[in-house]
Every structure is written in structure tokens, then in C-alpha cells.
Structure 1
Amino acid sequence: MQWILFDKDGTLIYFDQSWTRIGIQLVDDFIERYRASIADVEQAYKDLGVVDRDILPGSVMASGSLEEMIAHFNQIANRDVSDWVKEHSQTLIDQREPDNEWVDGVYEMLETLRQRGYKLAIVTSDTRKGTEQFLEATDSEHLFDVIISTEAHAVEKPNPEVLKPLFEQHEVQPEEIMMVGDTPNDIQTAINAQLGYSVAVLTGVGEKESFTQADRIVDDATAVLDILNDI
């Protein structure tokens, strides 16, 4: 392996509860706006994974892509609400005040990887603004060679095109890359892009049972050092 790609929220840092608040707010606003088209409001919340004012692990609101969320919203509203979901979710994200707490030992692991000559990248579904806030708050921009964020209307994980900036800027083969993330979409990105190795971590929203396609499932990202020694 030459490159290690890391998801951010739930992988490098503990899952940011502001994402939960945003997700619930998005569902609340959606149901309020399209209530006349929704047959069963209580069932709509359940279908989206919002129960008792929390988001259920493994649900579309917990770990689904924006496209998957939109598909659920469209089905529940029985109409195309794609533009509203994209624009409103972006507004909520822009207003977010993120938490940025490193997973224990991860910062030190990143420094060790750099010392050993590995190239490091962030591939996140967060926006450029949120990612820059993270880098500034944690003083960690120097650790990463490539930073890929996701803006509204752009491709996102698990679409392999999300990795286009990496391949355009650096001479690297897919089999020389490891992907580390906390959701099935992270692992599916590795599969779709034919990356060399995928590691699922349990510090985020993904459930262990959902990582059947990962090469390794570990408690947290610090295990990457041992995995690299093994392979």
C-alpha cells in the first residue's frame, strides 16, 4: 500500500452529533413541508430511521448517501423532491457547528504513517467548509496529501468518481490504495474503485453486520498500523 484514504466523521474523529441533529431537522422540515402528500407521518419517520428523536444505526439517515436519502424522500412524498432535499440539506450543513474530537490514538497513528512514508488522504461526505473547520480546529492539514470533500450536486461515495482528484493529481494505481471508513458506503467506494484493501471501523454509524464486504473490521482506525504490517 502507498496511499491510505480515511473517511472523517466516525473514522478519524468520533461521530459528530451535530450530524444527528441535522438529519432529524431535515426529516422534520421535509415532513412539515410535504405533510399533505405523506400518507402516514409516524411511518415516514420510521422509514427514514428517526425514532424517539434519534437516528437508528444502519438506517438511511444514519449512513445512506444523499442519493439514497432522496430516493426515500421521493417515495414517501410520492413526488420528486430532489432539488428541495439537496438545497435544504446544504443549508443545514452550512449552518452546522461541528464537534472535532479525535478518536483516541488516531492523530499519533497518522503521524507514524507519515513518518513511514505513506501518503494520506481524507475522503469525506462533509463540505469543504466543514472539512476546513476540522483541519483548522485539529491543526492537522499538514498530515494529508489530498483532501476530498463533497459539495451539493457533486458525486459522492460510493461513486468511484469521487476519487478522481486523487488519480488526476498523483500517479497511483487503485491496488496501491487502502480505504478506511465507518459506513458501508466507504467500503463500497473501495470496491467500486477497485482499491487494494478496505478497512471498516466501529467508531461511527456503521454496524458490524453491514461490513460483510470489508477486508477487515476493526474497533478503530489505529489498527491500520498492524494491518499494514500484516499485509
Structure 2
Amino acid sequence: MMAIKAILFDKDGTLVDFNATWFAVGDHLALEAAGGDRAEANVLMERAGYDFAAGKFRADSVFAAGTNAEIVDCWYPLASATERRERVAHFDEVTAVEGAARAVALPGIIDALSALHASGFRLAVATNDSTQGAERTLATLGVSQLFEAAYGYDAVANPKPAPDVIVAFADMAGLKPSEIAMVGDNNHDMETGRAAGAGLRVAVLSGTGTRATLEPLAHVVLGSIAELPGYLNGR
């Protein structure tokens, strides 16, 4: 295995607390899609992956791992092409503004990112949120200066789980995919790493994924990225 020189992080569930950040935003959009009908909004939330009994989003569900375009397709299946484009643009704007404004950093991530940056690792974010949403969230968390790039689903031809984000980061950084670690909380992240030939696939349990769902595709499973500096320094 080649030395890891760069790290590509998923955003939601990896850098920010997924449920604390996204339930209110998703519920607002679902209520809008349901025309104000509370019961129908709950149905839409469940369809997109929210488990009301457990009080959290299901691992690898549309809301947990998909793009805004996929959520629009889930909630507006009869929309025309024009309506779909307008809805996706609206979702991108709402999630970029509200998602960033409500972003709750996971415990220990600021110190971990600072330590990784200080150790010489090149850092970037790859999310199935929009690029604008990713950039705003990094600014809200106060860590923009630690990252070289942010890739949303709209920054590449094919979003995760396709390999495009890793290939784009590798090209930008002048690295091979095998020199990049992919870090995330769901299998879209692990599948992206595998498809691109990333040198290391790190799953974290701080988001929607579980050890049972993540372990088959990950090289290592950590509690959160707070453990990542110690793991990389001990490899």
C-alpha cells in the first residue's frame, strides 16, 4: 500500500452531525412537497429514509447518501423535466443555506482536521450535497483554510458512488488515487473509494452507517475522524 498523502472526506455524518443538522431541513422540504399536510410529509420523510421510531436516518437511504436530484425524484416522481430542474435548484439553494447555518460539528473533528493538516496531509471534501453547500458548511465550521477543494454532486459528471470525485481530486493535487484515503460514514463513500482505487477506505461510525453495513467494504472502521490522526500515525 502506497503512503497516503491526501484525504478526501465525506461531509454529512463524517464532519457534521447528520441527524442534528439535517432533520429540520429535510422536514421543511418534505412539508413543502406535501403542501403543508403533516401526515403526508411524514410519509415523504420515511420514503427518503427517516426512521421515526429510531429517531434517525437509515444507513444508505436516499436522504443519507443520495443527491438533491435523487430526493426530488423520490418526492416528485411526476414532475416534468422543467419542474424537476426548478425543484433541484430550489433544493440546492435551501440545503446550501440552511444546511450550513444549522451545521453541528461532530465532537473532536476540528482538532483532528487541524492535526492532519499540520502533519502535511492534503484535505478535500466530497459530498452528494451541492458544492455551494459544502463550501458554506466548511466556512460555518471555521475550517475552510484547511481544505484545498470541495466537490459536490454538481462538480463532477457522476456523483458518489462513482469514482469521479477521487479522480478529480487526484488530478488537481497531482497524486495517484492510491495515495488518497476516502473517509465516510456510508457505503457510497466506500464504493467510491473502491471504484477509484483509493489507497485507503476509512469508515466512521459517527453518521448513518453501522459496523455491519460498513465493515465489508472498508479497510478500517473508526468511531469518528477524531481517531484518524492516531490511526494514520500508527500505521
TM-score, with length taken from structure 2: 0.77
* 1:179 Cα deviation after fit: 0.8
* Structure 1 residues 68 and 210: alpha-carbon distance in aligned structure 2, compared to 1, 3 A threshold: farther
| Aligned position for 2:6 | 3
| Counterpart mapping for 1:115-134 below 5 A | 115-134=118-137
Amino acid aligned to 1:88: H
* Structure 1 residues 218 and 147: alpha-carbon distance in aligned structure 2, compared to 1, 3 A threshold: same
| Aligned position for 2:176 | 173
CA contact (8 A) 1:8 1:123 kept: yes
CA contact (8 A) 1:202 1:220 kept: yes
| Aligned position for 2:22 | 19
Asked if residue 193 in structure 1 is aligned to residue 196 in structure 2, the reply is yes
Asked if residue 218 in structure 1 is aligned to residue 219 in structure 2, the reply is no
Which SS does the other structure have where 2:24 is aligned? Answer: helix
| Counterpart mapping for 1:1-231 below 5 A | 1-15=4-18, 17-32=20-35, 46-50=46-50, 52=52, 56-58=57-59, 59-66=61-68, 68-70=70-72, 72-73=74-75, 82-83=84-85, 85-96=87-98, 98-151=101-154, 155-211=158-214, 212-231=216-235
* 1:213 Cα deviation after fit: 0.8
Counting aligned pairs with the same residue, the percent is: 26
CA contact (8 A) 1:199 1:217 kept: yes
* 1:145 Cα deviation after fit: 2.5
- The size of the alignment, in residue pairs, is 225
**Greater shift in the superposed pair: 107-116 or 171-180:** 107-116
* Structure 1 residues 21 and 153: alpha-carbon distance in aligned structure 2, compared to 1, 3 A threshold: farther
Which SS does the other structure have where 1:145 is aligned? Answer: strand
For the aligned residues, what is the CA RMSD?
3.3
* Structure 1 residues 72 and 147: alpha-carbon distance in aligned structure 2, compared to 1, 3 A threshold: closer
* 1:175 Cα deviation after fit: 0.9
Structure 2: distance between partners of 1:199 and 1:172:
19
Structure 2: distance between partners of 1:155 and 1:19:
23
CA contact (8 A) 1:70 1:85 kept: yes
**Greater shift in the superposed pair: 57-66 or 201-210:** 57-66
* Structure 1 residues 151 and 27: alpha-carbon distance in aligned structure 2, compared to 1, 3 A threshold: same
* Structure 1 residues 48 and 118: alpha-carbon distance in aligned structure 2, compared to 1, 3 A threshold: closer
CA contact (8 A) 1:113 1:225 kept: yes
* 1:172 Cα deviation after fit: 0.7
User: Tell me, which stretches of 5 or more residues in structure 2 are unaligned?
Assistant: none
CA contact (8 A) 2:21 2:103 kept: no
* 1:137 Cα deviation after fit: 3.0
Structure 2: distance between partners of 1:43 and 1:105:
35
CA contact (8 A) 1:16 1:100 kept: no
* 1:203 Cα deviation after fit: 1.2
User: Tell me, which stretches of 5 or more residues in structure 1 are unaligned?
Assistant: none
CA contact (8 A) 1:182 1:202 kept: yes
CA contact (8 A) 2:18 2:207 kept: yes
Amino acid aligned to 1:122: V
Structure 1: distance between partners of 2:45 and 2:103:
28
